[in-house]
Amino acid sequence: MTYLIPRIKPIYPLYRLNSDVFRIGAQLGITTEIEDEENQFWTLANLLNGKNQLDNILFGMRQKYPDLTNQDILDGITLLNDEGVVEESLPNKTANDRYIPNINYFSRFIDAHGDRFQVLKCQIKLDKSS
């Protein structure tokens, strides 16, 4: 998978439990807990903020952890994506504020391959048919 501007989904808080463990999410059944003694995933998760393009994420990770390869970092992003906590930022797409809660809710069910704004199109169709 090619990532452009991946981010941790904004509906999931990112927080530390202690120096070796952090969580993404805060709801029973949809929280991912990561043991991370070397803080590599913590650093990666913080770089996945929706502002950094993939090249900047790779550069930032290699600066801090020179032993990591680009493939190691991409594998880390893919692991987080497989956990369901990563999406593409899609900075050129916007939505009416009215639909943001729906988009955020349904983004929970897609990964970085999906487009959370497709929910908006479905919602608008439903509104027009009512």
Please write the tens of the pLDDT for every residue from 73-99. 999 999 999 998 998 876 565 655 666
Q: From CA 105, how far away is CA 123, in angstroms rounded?
A: 12
The conformation of residue 1, written as its DSSP 8-state character, comes to -
Q: For the full predicted model, state whether its pTM sits above 0.85.
A: no
Q: From CA 77, how far away is CA 120, in angstroms rounded?
A: 26
> Tens-of-pLDDT digits for all 130 residues of the chain?
689 999 999 889 999 999 999 999 988 778 899 999 999 999 999 999 999 999 999 999 999 999 999 999 999 999 999 998 998 876 565 655 666 666 666 666 676 666 665 655 554 454 555 5
Q: From CA 43, how far away is CA 22, in angstroms rounded?
A: 11
User: Which helix (DSSP H) or strand (DSSP E) does residue 88 occupy?
Assistant: strand 86-88
